[in-house]
Amino acid sequence: MKIFGIFGDPIEHSLSPVMQNAALRALGENACYHAFRVSSADLVDAILGAAAMGFSGLNLTIPLKEKALELDFLHPDPLAQAIGAVNTVSFGPRAIAGYNTDGWGALLALQDAGVEIRGKSVLIVGAGGAARAIAYTLEQEGADISIANRSLKRAEELAALVGAEGFCLCDLARLAPQADIIINCTSVGMRAGDARLLERRLLQRDQAVFDIVYNRDTQLLKDARAAGAVAVDGVMMLVYQGAKALQIWTGKQAPVDVMERAVREALAARQAGVF
């Protein structure tokens, strides 16, 4: 049996196992996919342990995507190297390879929602691994990027990667109304009771608001809908990045419809208190 998994901390919220196990069954693979809580300090041992135990592939999530690029035994492909983050790992006979499928997933999620990218101003909130992938991908698609982050230094570092300008979160009240597309790449909204990322009054009817948080209907998305903006949740980004990872591991075309259905059914069950 092939074994796949996802490493992260926290990891309890992840629906990747539900999604990927549904996909593996649909593909007829004799395989399973599990979630493992792994801290940054334990990443080296965890990946080498997975390799030693014969794992076929891994996904990495918060806070491991950028840390993985520092590992001398992991060989990133050119895209992951350029982005500066790894979210997918494959174990070959001679090397452990790293990839990044987050940007691909975000782009397809936006396109699914009918959001035009080229020539649009995109405000990305956050500067972690997912933000890096999305900023790089959308810049390649012709978007005009701005980065806002709690740490101005990290915002400026990411901005330099994509020829953009970096700002601190204190600038959001000025930046948000001017943006065509606003993307939350932080974990704000993942938990009930999280503070608002943006005040509702800052959102406009002609904007698109994309929250990569997928485990709940966030306040940001509720506010976006109330403002008449296009609201895009993180489910399809999860699905498309996971589909790309599955293709890397198995060489097969992933059943995207099966994966989306599994995630949305699990979310509905979780909201009903049965999952």
> What's the rounded mean pLDDT across residues 180-209?
93
Q: What is the DSSP string of 93-137?
A: SS-EEEE--HHHHHHHHHHHTT---TT-EEEEE--SHHHHHHHHH
Read off the tokens for 249: 């591991």
Kindly tell me if the per-residue pLDDT of 275 is higher than 80: no
Residue 62 has phi, psi (to 5 degrees) of: -50, 130
Kindly tell me if the per-residue pLDDT of 206 is higher than 80: yes
Mean residue pLDDT across the chain: 95
Residue 178 has phi, psi (to 5 degrees) of: -90, -10
Residues with catalytic annotation?
A: 65
pTM listed for this prediction: 0.92
All domains of the chain, ordered by start, with CATH? 2-100+241-271 (3.40.50.10860), 103-233 (3.40.50.720)
- Per-residue pLDDT band at 272 (split at 50, 70, 90): confident
Per residue in 141-188, pLDDT tens?
999 999 999 999 999 999 999 999 999 999 999 999 999 999 999 989
- For residue 94, the model assigns a pLDDT of 87
- Per-residue pLDDT band at 191 (split at 50, 70, 90): confident
Per residue in 53-83, pLDDT tens?
999 999 999 899 999 999 999 999 999 999 9
